[in-house]
Amino acid sequence: MAPVSIRRILISESVDPCCKQILQDNGIQVTEKQTMTKDELIGEIKDFDGLVVRSATKVTAEIIDAAVNLKIIGRAGTGVDNVDVDAATKRGIIVMNTPSGNTISAAELTCALLISLSRHVPQATMSMKAGKWDRKKFMGAELYGKILGIVGLGRIGKEVAARMQSFGMKTIGYDPITPPEISATWGVEQMSLEELWPKCDYITVHTPLMPSTTGLLNDSSFAQCKRGVKVVNCARGGIIDEPALLRALESGQCGGAGLDVFVEEPPKDWALVNHPNVISCPHLGASTKEAQARCGRDIALQIVDMLQGKALVGAVNAQVLASTFSADSHKWIQLGEALGLVLRSCSASKQPYSQVQITTIGERLKSCGGLLGSAVMVGLLKDSARNRPNLVNVLSLAQEAGITVTTDNISDSGDQALAQSICVVEISANGTSCKAIGSVHGEAPVLLELNGCPFRQPVPLSGNLLLFRAPASPQNLPNIAGVVAAAGVGAEWFSASAASSGDQWYCVGMSAPLGDLGSVKRLVKEATQLHV
Residue 122's SS3 state is helix
75, 91, 283, 344: the active-site residue: 283
Beta bridge partners of residue 493, listed in sequence order: 509
Amino acid at 173: G
C-alpha torsion sign, points 67, 72, 76, 81? positive
Residue 330 is a catalytic residue:
no
265, 363, 400, 492: the active-site residue: 265
75, 120, 206, 236: the active-site residue: 236
Amino acid at 102: N
Residues 6+ apart with CB under 8 A from 267: 273
Query: Alpha helices, DSSP H only, in 466-528?
Result: 476-486, 518-521
Which has the closest alpha carbon to 142: 167, 107, 108, 121?
Answer: 167
365 contacts 409 by C-beta, under 8 angstroms? yes
* CA distance readout (Å), 417 to 75, 121, 228, 443, 513: 49, 76, 72, 20, 34
Beta bridge partners of residue 188, listed in sequence order: 171
Residue 283 is a catalytic residue:
yes
Q: What is the DSSP string of 65-105?
A: HH-TT--EEEESSS--TTB-HHHHHHTT-EEEE-TTTTHHH
42 contacts 10 by C-beta, under 8 angstroms? no
Q: What is the 3 state secondary structure string of 130-159?
A: CCCCCCCCCCCCCCCCCEEEEECCCHHHHH
Residue 265 is a catalytic residue:
yes
Q: Length of the chain, please?
A: 532
Beta bridge partners of residue 52, listed in sequence order: 11, 74
How would you class 247 by CB atoms within 10 Å of its CB: exposed for 0-12, middle for 13-18, buried for 19 or more?
Answer: middle
Give the residue numbers marked as catalytic.
Answer: 236, 265, 283
